[in-house]
Chains A and B, each alone.
Chain A
Amino acid sequence: MFRNNYDNDSVTYSPTGRLFQVEYALEAIKQGSATVGIASANHVVLVALKRNAEELGSYQKKIIKVDDHMGIALAGLAPDARVLSNYLRKLAMNSKLVFNRPLLTSKAALSIADKAQENTQSYGSRPYGVGLLVGGWDETGAHLYEFQPSGSVLEYYGAAIGARSQAARTYLERNLETIRQCTEIEDLVVHGLNALRDTLSQDMELTMKNTSVSVVGKDQDFVVYDDEDVQVWLDKLDSTSNARDVDEAGDAGNAGDDEAAEAENADATGIASGANEENTASDRMDTD
């Protein structure tokens, strides 16, 4: 109710022990378009939905290569993601130069977490407004981590962040067994795109312009597919349009309902934070 007393800076605890500035940063991620990551035993796939500010503008990049064996996908403030990816590149090059050893995915994820955490306990700074999916292949295998500006990092088999990402998570939860057993990159990408497709709003579909695909794993350097290159992957899908439209045609009944309900929830939180005084339409930063 009296939230505003305790949300002026990131070093003030609320009476219930919360950091509202950090929670607002987490809201910024929800404003960004969705990003999905999945990991099998030997590969990690990151797929992302790109947004353009207006019809004439280009689509904001969502996937950034860090090194031959690692890359990140973002949801939230793109400039913050650039800062963090540059830092990761520096760490990766340092590890290569000083130890002749590729940077571990776990170490990369924890390093940016430490960096983000510092911003939650020093006056004058702000938390990063971006969530990242860090995927990599190293001597300990294929790993996928979700990074949050609160400094929390968790490892996942499948993760999704950004607007309407709950729908993608639902898909991943339902198909976890088959995803984990994928040996072919192709099958993994199709699962990733299926999950991403579920995050689409009504009357939208995956196109080569708004979709990014990336792959990394055993004997597979990190590679991003964009524009024309992504069409080959889209062609492997049975449909590129929203799952709810497909549902109309027949097979699943309650699945669609769940997702619709969840999407509604996500929208509701979006509206709630949008209504917050801090977030008037005029000075709201763009998120991707």
Chain B
Amino acid sequence: MNHDPFQWGRPRDDVYGTYNQSIAKCSNSVEFPSMHTQQPIITGTSVLGLKFKNGIVIAADHMGSYGSLLRFNNIERLIRVGSETVVGISGDISDLQHIERLLHQLETEEEVYDNTGAKLRAPHIHEYLTRVLYNRRSKMDPLWNAVIVAGFNDDRSPFIRYVDLLGVAYGASALATGFGAHLAIPLLRQLVPYDEDYVKVTEEEAREAIVNSMRVLYYRDARASDKYTLATLSFEDGKVQVKFAEDMQVENQSWKFAEKVIGYGSKQL
């Protein structure tokens, strides 16, 4: 028996000669069965999330890229689930739409069919997504996404947690997927150097930090767009409030310096 995983279960070539594919009666047989979710096609770039003392700010732009072609500019990547959770998704857009459907299905089952009085909150939704994503990667058929779930714990303290196509999950006061992990996290961490520092951050500071990070990403991420959605979830006076700003735009860009940049070194004006 051949123990090479790609040849598993086949007779060994050096003992029995090359396996005759036509025996299996598949004319255009290849070495390994074709799989359709093995690479992302239309993709969304970073999602950013930041905790503040009584809530969460989360943002994602509207771009759906087809490779380097900026193909769709009106994709909404922040999904509201229930009354106090927002899920931000980056990565493959068709898989995003699949997850969106799963989440809305879940919401319908929980809040309409057996309305038992217990709310489906962010930690539960995150746990569910972790199961779904890890299950899919274990079938060698991952959902090609990185997801950030923002919302509140049962005691209404802010909750934010990451999970990706491998089922890897972690939490922190500042989170970002993809490109944002390189460019935005260092900026966001100036507000929350340590995990527990989020209690010192106000809603305005958190929002400003996210807006700034979105600008930096627009400067330096070739797949980013300047239109984005920014959601603010806050818990005040015993009530959760979710503000969805879908018409955000990157502003105050600084390009003035550009006219003085000439050549790459020796060339002078």
Contact = CB atoms under 8 A, between A and B. Distances in A.
A190 B154 CA distance: 34
Contacts of B127: 98-101
Interface stretch (B55-63, B89-97, B111-119, B138-146): B111-119
Contacts of B114: 107, 110
Interface size range on B against A:
10 to 19
Contacts of B120: 99
B128 interface: yes
Contact of A139 (B118, B123, B128, B131): B118
Tell me what chain B mostly uses at the interface: helix, strand, loop, or mixed. Answer: loop
Contact of A99 (B116, B117, B128, B154): B128
A140 B118 CA distance: 7
Contacts of B118: 101, 104, 138-140
Interface residues of A, number: 12
Contacts, number: 30
25 contacts: A97-B131, A98-B127, A98-B128, A98-B131, A99-B120, A99-B124, A99-B127, A99-B128, A100-B124, A101-B118, A101-B127, A104-B116, A104-B117, A104-B118, A106-B116, A106-B117, A107-B114, A107-B116, A110-B114, A110-B116, A138-B118, A139-B118, A140-B116, A140-B117, A140-B118
Contacts of A107: 114, 116
Interface of B: 114, 116-118, 120, 123-124, 127-128, 131, 154
A100 B123 contact: yes
A98 B126 CA distance: 9
Nearest to B123: A100
Contacts of B123: 100-101
Contacts of A97: 131
Given A99-B128, A100-B123, A100-B124, A139 B116 contact: no
